[in-house]
A and B are shown apart, each in its own frame.
Chain A
């Protein structure tokens, strides 16, 4: 359990506190994450061997570097692949592409992924406590415009990158090709099963 680069306990404690402060800014997200209370989610960074055990509680999460219990589900992947689960519109793309390996309760993994993706932090509300509503609202408008622009650019960049990888460089298959491939795998599996049944029947007749 101790191999790999592990994050010091003190850093984890600070990280946990920061995570919970962020969660406190999105009561709806905090409520959703509470639905996963007590589930032990292991996140392992491939290449570093760094492990995080995340246990959602009521409105907050607990974060440990080692937890003496079998996790309910584990997500293993490179830091980039793991980050994409939270960022992409289709978290399942990442799972299909094999970037992240999921073990245990995959339903839980997907639920967790979508909660992380949908976190919506109300910074303005927090700011209003410090500087009052009018100022916070004006700052909020400016920030929202910047954020929308940022999100739009990120979306466009993501879309362009996806198209480049799928259509131009042909490094990853398109959605259509993946569907086609999966259908072919299903057909092949059915054919093999039919063939196996037939062979068995023939052998029985010979015996």
Chain B
């Protein structure tokens, strides 16, 4: 995959080196109203998807969690409450604007002490091997240029016995739902984007990048390729999103 000269950015082909930069531009543009947009776009359902991710993660007090593409820190907020003062949550994002928003929001919520903030690229994680009990990435893998590299890195930093949770848009399993969903994402989403953050293109990218993301079975195979075992996935909202889970044994 890393031999290719171009990669997809939504439906466009862009040079490999450019994708990260373009994704950064998208999130710089939406950072201020990211939470509001999430609520509008998913009609609030993204909160339920994240709750289910937390349930499946089954993190215990005292554990170390790495939350990649943490954005404004929805998952980190819950993890910080569970792992307690003896545990640690590393809040990480490749985009500094998003990470700053996340840090402001969590600190304002009184969550300090067991949280660390790390600006990092998921393809080259600045952490030692065998370190975390749980690694999560919610709505982030889609934007990574080399997904396999990112999966390999997640595997590396996990402790044996640790687990990875990937919450990502996926492919609806029912065809009537797929039609309605397409209509929604290519007409409603960009309009919402234009109205709320004055940026229709970023949300068109969002809809397109979802279509280009590997489907459930492909992603599972990629996780196995990275070394994860007992890989399974849970379709939510008819497969519009899926939670993938794998273990490092």
Nearest residue (CB) in B for A10 is B48
Per the 8 Å Cβ criterion, residues 197-240 of B in contact with A are: none
Chain A residues with CB below 8 A from B62, complex form = 38
- Residue-wise, chain A 57-85 has the 8 Å CB interface mask toward B (1 for contact) of 11110101111110000000000000000
User: Which secondary structure characterizes the binding site on chain B?
Assistant: helix
A55 located at the interface, meaning its Cβ lies under 8 Å from any Cβ of chain B in the complex: yes
The answer to whether B58 touches A68 (Cβ under 8 A) is: yes
Per the 8 Å Cβ criterion, residues 39-83 of B in contact with A are: 47-48, 51-52, 54-62, 78, 80-83
User: Nearest-CB distance from A4 to chain B (Å)?
Assistant: 16
User: Nearest-CB distance from A99 to chain B (Å)?
Assistant: 28
The answer to whether A68 touches B56 (Cβ under 8 A) is: yes
- A67 to B51 Cα, complex, angstroms: 10
Per the 8 Å Cβ criterion, residues 18-70 of A in contact with B are: 37-40, 53, 55, 57-60, 62, 64-69
A97 located at the interface, meaning its Cβ lies under 8 Å from any Cβ of chain B in the complex: no
Nearest residue (CB) in B for A39 is B61
The one of B51, B59, B80, B110 in contact with A13, judged by C-beta atoms closer than 8 angstroms, is B51
Number of interface residues of A (CB under 8 A): 21
- Residue-wise, chain B 87-117 has the 8 Å CB interface mask toward A (1 for contact) of 1000000000000000000000011000000
- A68 to B134 Cα, complex, angstroms: 13
Query: A55-B82, A57-B81 in contact; A64/B54 too (CB < 8 A)?
Result: yes
Nearest residue (CB) in B for A8 is B48
Nearest residue (CB) in A for B48 is A9
The one of A39, A57, A60, A66 in contact with B55, judged by C-beta atoms closer than 8 angstroms, is A66
The answer to whether B52 touches A40 (Cβ under 8 A) is: no
B140 located at the interface, meaning its Cβ lies under 8 Å from any Cβ of chain A in the complex: no
Chain B residues with CB below 8 A from A68, complex form = 55-58
Query: A10-B48, A13-B48, A37-B61 in contact; A58/B55 too (CB < 8 A)?
Result: no
Chain B residues with CB below 8 A from A9, complex form = 48, 51-52
Number of interface residues of B (CB under 8 A): 23
The answer to whether B81 touches A62 (Cβ under 8 A) is: yes
Chain B residues with CB below 8 A from A40, complex form = 60
The answer to whether B60 touches A59 (Cβ under 8 A) is: no
- A38 to B133 Cα, complex, angstroms: 15
- A62 to B78 Cα, complex, angstroms: 8
The answer to whether A67 touches B58 (Cβ under 8 A) is: yes
The answer to whether B81 touches A60 (Cβ under 8 A) is: yes
User: Nearest-CB distance from B65 to chain A (Å)?
Assistant: 12
- A38 to B63 Cα, complex, angstroms: 10
Per the 8 Å Cβ criterion, residues 145-189 of A in contact with B are: none
The answer to whether B82 touches A62 (Cβ under 8 A) is: yes
Nearest residue (CB) in B for A38 is B61
- A76 to B84 Cα, complex, angstroms: 26
User: Nearest-CB distance from B104 to chain A (Å)?
Assistant: 18
Chain A residues with CB below 8 A from B61, complex form = 37-39
- A66 to B110 Cα, complex, angstroms: 27
The answer to whether A58 touches B58 (Cβ under 8 A) is: no
The answer to whether B55 touches A13 (Cβ under 8 A) is: no
- A37 to B113 Cα, complex, angstroms: 14
Q: Of residues B47, B78, B84, B87, which shows the largest number of chain A Cβ atoms within 10 Å of its Cβ?
A: B84
Chain B residues with CB below 8 A from A69, complex form = 58-60
The answer to whether B60 touches A38 (Cβ under 8 A) is: yes
Query: A9-B48, A38-B83 in contact; A65/B55 too (CB < 8 A)?
Result: yes
Nearest residue (CB) in A for B57 is A68
The answer to whether A67 touches B55 (Cβ under 8 A) is: yes
Nearest residue (CB) in B for A68 is B58
- A40 to B83 Cα, complex, angstroms: 11
Those 8 A-B pairs whose CB atoms lie nearest each other, nearest first: A38-B61, A57-B81, A68-B58, A69-B58, A38-B84, A37-B84, A64-B55, A9-B48
A-B contact pairs, 15 of them (CB 8 A): A9-B51, A10-B48, A13-B51, A37-B84, A37-B85, A38-B60, A38-B62, A38-B82, A38-B83, A55-B81, A62-B78, A62-B82, A64-B51, A64-B54, A68-B55
